Amino acid sequence: MTADEDELAPVEELLATTDFAAALDNNQFRRFLDCIPLAIAVTELRNKERIVYANPKFQKLSGRLTEELHGKPLTVLHGRGEGESAGRDLGRALVEGNERVGTFHIEALNSDPILVDAYSYVIDDERGDHAYRLVALVDISNCVSAWREQLEREIRDKDTALRELQHRVKNNLQIITALIRLEARNMPMGPTREPFDRLAGRVESLALLYSLLSGNDQSEEVDLGVYLSQIASAVMNTHAVEGIRLDLRIEPYLVSVNVAMPTGLVVNELLTNALKYAFIGRNSGTVSLHSLLHKEGYRVVVSDDGVGLPVGVEWPKPGGLGVLILDTLRENARAEIEMQSSPGRGTRVTILFLRRVN
């Protein structure tokens, strides 16, 4: 038997009363109603329905005294419907409903708001005519509070588990990055080594993203500026060239993980390419990463003042992973991407995240 069923057990006794009118006039029966641990009210249905009795528990839950209830219609009771009863008022629902009529939020003066399950039972006389209505309210505030506390605990536990998983993933990605770079160093410079370097950079970008996620308290968003600056630092540490400096200008911008991840992969590839190929035959140069707020949204610019792309070379390489990543940015992040390059004047790639229009 549930808690509600246990509390409603006295209702079964009342409904089984053969002569409810006579019982209601009996002082002993009224004292019985006064003492039961359930909010009970009775209305008379002949002529115009009106409240003829309300026990102390009912007065407490409804927030109304006997003199405010006696002789009044049920519509004097007010409560906001919850869940399946949303949009309904307590008093009207009791008049229109039968048996369990729903869950309602009652805000009474000088007391804390409560949540009740409401019930309405019609009692017929010996001729079978509707004579009385028995109304019952069950306070479920404590039950709901306990349920919410349990749900919050479960959410906290799952969040902790997720963050532990993110931390483990970050550590594993760092190990994978180190292994790939170790393998690459054992290979001669040239086309065979290049895919390993590119793969290591991509894995390292993901590791940095997981590191940010594990440090974000209860947040599902990442500061893109912070993330890209970490990627730039990692690329410079790995591929630093004497005489080549990094011009870094960053402003904060919160994005989802689904936006941060492909952006980080693109920026990692652009910075790596610039350091490895843009300054061949030169002793100095500048690689720039500017991630700044723009009147149209947020603009990420990766550029260099190097030799530019060779004639006939495209970026991203057709059919490669870079094309797929850029398509993801265009579709999921409403990003506009522009690439400019000319011999001897460097390369510039702009990613513009358009401002959301409400």
Average pLDDT over residues 306-325: 81
**Does residue 141 carry a pLDDT above 60?**
yes
pLDDT (0 to 100) of residue 216: 63
- Binned at pLDDT 50, 70 and 90, residue 351 comes out as very high
How much is the pLDDT for 246? 93
Q: Of 9-13, 133-137, 285-289, which range is least confident? A: 9-13
pLDDT in tens, 262-288: 898 889 889 988 988 889 888 889 999
Q: List, edge to edge, every strand of the sheet that includes 346-354.
A: 244-250, 285-294, 297-304, 346-354, 335-342
- Of 15-24, 224-233, 292-301, 343-352, which range is least confident? 15-24
- State the pLDDT at residue 290: 96
**Res. 40: pLDDT tops 60:** yes
Identity of the amino acid at 78: H
φ/ψ of residue 218, rounded to 5: 60, 25
pLDDT of residue 304: 93
Locus of tokens 């994005």: 255
If pLDDT is split at 50, 70 and 90, which confidence band does 209 have? confident
Give the mean pLDDT of 145-159: 67
The whole-number pLDDT of residue 338 equals 92
Strands (DSSP E) found in the chain: 39-44, 50-54, 80-82, 99-106, 114-124, 130-139, 221-223, 244-250, 254-256, 285-294, 297-304, 335-342, 346-354
pTM above 0.75, yes or no: no
Say how far apart CA 271 and CA 323 lie, in whole Å: 17
- Please tell me the predicted confidence (pLDDT) of residue 1: 44
Q: Say if CB 341 and CB 309 are below 8 A apart.
A: yes
pLDDT average, residue stretch 45-52: 85
Range of weakest confidence among 50-54, 228-232, 296-300, 319-323: 319-323
Residue of higher predicted confidence among 113 and 158: 113
pLDDT, tens only, 72-130: 888 888 888 887 888 888 888 888 888 888 888 887 656 677 888 888 888 887 777 88
How far is it, in rounded angstroms, from Cα 72 to Cα 278? 87
Query: In the Cβ-directed half-sphere of 162, how many Cα atoms lie within 13 Å?
Result: 13
Tell me: pLDDT of 53 over 80.
yes
pLDDT at 342: 84
